Amino acid sequence: MKITVMTADEHILTLEVDRDESVENLKALLEVEQLLYSGKEMRNAEKLSALGINDGDLVMMVSHAASSASTNDLSFNPDGSAVNPAAFQQHIRRDPNMMAQLFQTDPELAQALLENGLDRLQDLLRERHRQRSHLRRQQDEELALLYADPFDVEAQKKIEAAIRQVLTRTGQPHLKHNPEGFARVVMLYVDMEVNGVPLKAFVDSGAQSTIISKSCAERCGLLRLLDQRYKGIAHGVGQSEILGRIHVAPIKIGNIFYPCSFLVLDSPNMEFLFGLDMLRKHQCIIDLKENVLRVGGGEVSVPFLQEKDIPSRFLDEERYSKKASSSGDPAPSGPKESTDIPTRGHSSGSSRGDSMQGPDFEAKVAKLVELGFARDAVIQALKFFDGNEEQAAGYLFGG
């Protein structure tokens, strides 16, 4: 760890030391007879860890001539307040480097040192002392749990509580810098027309074919164009019957018409999915910076819909598309013959649904169940976040 050392002539040094280093060795390294931490003399036989010194803490060197006066002036009461707050305040004020460091690490305390009154300074020193004491108690309790009886129910409850606290603490910086990782991510929808009927299309570059449901095709007047020779079964998360293919129909994006072909599925949970085949054919660009779908190499741009503009029933399409989307066309076959079609970009026939089962998925479930969550809730959270363990844990803790 690194500690900050203020020399007797008020210069600042930064030293890399071992947490279990003895005070005696640190004095020898600094060639000094006396060191102070929190206003108290550090004794030779003590180790830095035993004194509660952590990364970035301040240690003060004291010259032999000034040691007696400095110890008294800069020492602290048992509650953390300064014995001589005026001397402590002036001592820190005189060091511009120390003040600059305090403004970075503890601006509230730095501001109190610049004020004329001493009451606020004393209150803050007491508060910092309470915080350090609480942290040390927590560390001691966590250390004690390492040696706890694994069959002691109370000990296990404390271990569970400690794990929750660690996850909460470690999650804070992620929540601050990556808030999107802890929130629902709305999928991409755009307004378009299919054969003159307005629709909200789910844009999914992970779906290899464009899909339309039977009910939606009927509403758009396209069932008469259905080629039933292309019947089959789409396998993914579950399976869905492919009723056939519509080889060409007009879709309108922006103010331009484009020819489009679809697979028609007997799928009440999914309406229209604009897949990779048509995205490629019409040279589409998913521009997330401008939040638009560019079609025809950029000749048309349509905005992605905000969550408030997407019907709530459509949000289930995000999951259903994993089942409905297919990677290619089945070979023409007899009207009763079904064909297995690989899904979601894997020519081998596997899908993202594979991540929702098997030993890896069960290992994630077991790990989150051990934290005290119900198995059904864990499975639901993992499925919701496509198997992402960290996002599922954040969701469960947030709930």
Question: In the chain, what are the domain boundaries?
Answer: 2-129, 133-182, 188-352, 357-398
Residue 130: CB partners within 8 Å, gap ≥ 6? 80
Determine phi and psi for 30, rounding to 5 degrees: -85, -10
Rounded-to-integer distance, Cα 398 and Cα 389, Å: 14
The two structure tokens encoding residue 205: 């570059």
Choice among 106, 123, 204, 329 that is catalytic? 204
Rounded-to-integer distance, Cα 168 and Cα 161, Å: 11
CATH 3.10.20.90 fits 2-129, yes or no: yes
The two structure tokens encoding residue 332: 């023409």
Q: State residue 64's pLDDT score.
A: 53
Q: State residue 194's pLDDT score.
A: 93
Q: How many CA atoms lie within 13 A of 247 on its CB side?
A: 5
3-state secondary structure of 32: coil
Rounded-to-integer distance, Cα 180 and Cα 317, Å: 21
The two structure tokens encoding residue 259: 């020819």
Q: State residue 49's pLDDT score.
A: 83
Topology match between the domains 188-352 and 357-398: no
Q: State residue 37's pLDDT score.
A: 81
The two structure tokens encoding residue 193: 């027309």
Q: State residue 167's pLDDT score.
A: 59
Rounded-to-integer distance, Cα 299 and Cα 74, Å: 73
- CATH assignment of 188-352? 2.40.70.10
Give the helix ranges, DSSP H, for the chain: 23-30, 67-73, 85-93, 96-105, 107-114, 119-146, 153-177, 214-219, 276-281, 317-324, 358-369, 375-384, 389-398
The CATH fold of domain 357-398 = Helicase, Ruva Protein; domain 3 (1.10.8)
The amino acid present at 235, given as its one-letter code, is H
pLDDT along the chain (399 residues), means of 10: 76 81 83 79 84 82 55 75 84 78 82 85 89 81 66 72 64 56 76 93 88 92 90 67 90 92 82 92 93 92 90 61 44 38 35 61 83 79 77 66
The answer to whether residue 204 is catalytic is yes
Rounded-to-integer distance, Cα 381 and Cα 227, Å: 39
CA distances from residue 86 to 74, 101, 391 in whole angstroms, order as listed: 10, 20, 50
